[in-house]
Amino acid sequence: MELRSILNLLSDGEFHSGSDLGRTLGVSRTAVWKALGQLEELRLPLESVKGRGYRLLRPLDLLCGKSIQSYMAAQAVENISIEVLLSTDSTNTHLLEKQLEGNLYESCLAEYQTAGKGRRGRKWVSPFARNIYLSIAFNLDGGAEALSGLSLVVGLSVVKTLASLGVSGVELKWPNDVWLSGRKLAGILVELHGEATTSWRVVVGLGLNVDMKPEDAEVIEQAWSALSEVSDIGRNELAGNLLSGLYCDLERFKLGGFKDFLSDWNKFDALAGKVVEINSGAIVGIARGVDLSGALLLEVDGALSAVNAGEVSVRLG
């Protein structure tokens, strides 16, 4: 019996007896009991009450490939494969280990990550079925210059998608974060395989907090937010719209690079005009937007300089 089958039944948060679960799934109560024991590995709190059965303490909005596709534009459905995993170490790692052929995109979503990745080796907190853990892989021709501004385009795509779904107050914090009300809502991680002079296999990872609770985030050391604070959109609808937006924007990026996105970026720039710190205070200046390659423009003592996205972290001063 697949664990997903019993999760689908328990996802409503209501009580289900062991015998009812077994009857519906066509398995013995012993098999049900063993499956329920696996929920502990996923850190899903399960309540057991004699005479009533079992229930999850919090209902689940589970991902489904077909449901995600129902919210996607036709072109995106045709060009993006979707794989939904119950658990994996990292959606980025999962796609990096696979071979991608042709010009199609391959996406992977997971309910739970045991070793989710953030920038600079940080761990991405990944409670089960609470957020979006999504990676998309594609081939990109060209040398290192072909990658300039890619993570900014992905962040911009996320913000535009959220805005189209009625979410306001979302901004971009250069280079890889999406903010909601001044707190981190989402992060982006770009990983590469390939030859620096010819072509790349690109995997873009997105972690977006949807219904994260304080008890899920005790180890997070920065201010964070969750989409549930301002929207009740379901995760399948959100994932479908995100994939459609990414497909359109990545195709556009392949043709023209970051320069075609610059004016849109400026509309959502959370740092523009603010005093910022580079590398925890090694450099302090005023953020003046980004250049045509996506590098941060920093004003220090009246002079502008470009800061490469791959070398720095930025904090409000």
**Of 29, 58, 119, 288, which residue is the catalytic one?**
119
Tokens of 138: 């594609």
Helix (H, G, I), strand (E, B) or coil at 310: coil
Half-sphere exposure at residue 119, Cβ-oriented, CA atoms within 13 angstroms: 17
Tokens of 190: 């770009």
Helix (H, G, I), strand (E, B) or coil at 90: coil
Say which residue the tokens 């501004």 belong to. Answer: 149
Q: With the C-alpha atoms ordered 308, 158, 201, 95, is the resulting torsion angle positive or negative?
A: positive
**Of 184, 201, 252, 288, which residue is the catalytic one?**
184
For the question of residue 184 being annotated catalytic, the response is yes
Comparing C-alpha atoms, which of 70, 65, 77 is closest to residue 247? 77
Amino acid, res. 228: S
Helix (H, G, I), strand (E, B) or coil at 170: strand
Catalytic residues: 119, 184, 315
